[in-house]
Structure 1
Amino acid sequence: MTRAVEVDLELRLLISDLLVQEAEYLDDRRFEDWLALFTEDVRYTAPIRVARKSPAPDIIDEIGHFDDTYQSLDLRVRRLRTDVAWAEDPPSHTRRLITNIRIRLTDVPDELDVRSNLLLFRSRGDRGQYDLIVGERQDRFRKVGDEWKISRRRAILDQSSLSTKNLGVFL
């Protein structure tokens, strides 16, 4: 549960800088550095959004674009370094913009709820075509030793139907 209590400026800047650093790692294809930002018990999901009439929910958590653990993220990262990652061969050119960062204390000591907006630009090849993926990331940060790490991520995409041919990139 999140408490509507503001965190101090120093912690706010630290978490914001971590999210910006994460985006840089992914855009620079530094996947091993990116993976080190997560706890080993992380759960990283992207549920499906559907278009329904109110009051039916428009997010279905039971199925998703992906539902990853640290082990499956590690496997995806290692696979990207091989010659069988066809969805990313040639590699995508990406730019992630992370905005509207909201940080709240939780009832659990040394854990924070962090929400941020994501705009992902992705281009492949030389035809001038590109994908835009937009959504909100709902993260749980946990202090592990002296470091803050992501222990949960839920990426809620704004599109009900993704126009990209694959999701071979991380959100």
Structure 2
Amino acid sequence: MQPVTYNRKITEKFEQSDYGDAQQHFLAQRVLYREAELLDSRRYAEWLEMLSDDLLYEMPLRTNRLGRELQFEFNDPGELSHFEEDKGGIALRLRRLGTNMAWSEDPPSRTRRLVSNIVVKSASEGEVLVGSNQLVYRSRLDHQKELFSCARFDIWRIQTDPAAWQLAYRNIVFDDAIVHGSNLGIFF
């Protein structure tokens, strides 16, 4: 059986990199927990400040494949995906949430993010690779309840102050091939 290879580019970076030190791991953990707190409390302007200007934020499609076809389980960058956004696109989505035109988020979702299995690896100077798993619970109205499970592969630009870290790249990989949510109007 072949191992899971998400985005080939980021998977190769993870495999070729050494683990970060304990201090980097601690700081990455704090950054991810802070990010979850900001998103769960709908403090989107503060979260947007955590994103680098050259951010790539993507969620490739996943398909069910036979064992001999597992190398095709995920679409490559540039192919069809759930979304592939930059900071400008995310800022536009956030501005839209402030209008009366974002029907999929009116009333807004209530979310709770659980972040775990954090792995930190050294990258180039001033950057770390951070892998994590995330479980996102979302509820809307009285009856709409959804659970999303995913892995995330990030590149963070690091500073000595964890509040100044910036997300430069995020690859979000759902565990399900079919998204069972009503929409993808939330952030992962």
The answer for the alignment partner of 1:58 in structure 2 is 73
Q: Identify the structure with the greater strand proportion.
A: 1
- Tell me the SS of whatever aligns to 1:60: coil
Query: What TM-score does the superposition give when structure 1 sets the normalisation length?
Result: 0.93
1:85 matched to 2:102? The reply is: yes
The answer for the alignment partner of 1:109 in structure 2 is 125
1:16 matched to 2:29? The reply is: yes
Structure 2 gaps of 5+ residues are 1-12
What do you get for the CA RMSD once the two structures are aligned? 1.5
Query: What TM-score does the superposition give when structure 2 sets the normalisation length?
Result: 0.85
Q: Identify the structure with the greater helix proportion.
A: 2
Deviations 1:108-128 (A, max 9, x none): 21111110001010011012x
Rounded to whole Å, the distance in 2 between the matches of 1:16 and 1:77 is 25
The answer for the alignment partner of 2:158 in structure 1 is 143
- Corresponding letter in the other structure for 2:80: I
Moved more, 58-67 or 111-120: 58-67
Using the TM superposition, give the Cα deviation of residue 144 of structure 1 relative to its aligned residue in structure 2, in angstroms.
Answer: 6.1
1:130 matched to 2:132? The reply is: no
Rounded to whole Å, the distance in 2 between the matches of 1:72 and 1:144 is 25
- Tell me the SS of whatever aligns to 2:178: coil
Structure 1 gaps of 5+ residues are none
Using the TM superposition, give the Cα deviation of residue 7 of structure 1 relative to its aligned residue in structure 2, in angstroms.
Answer: 2.1
- Tell me the SS of whatever aligns to 2:19: coil
Match of 1:48 among 57, 61, 70: 61
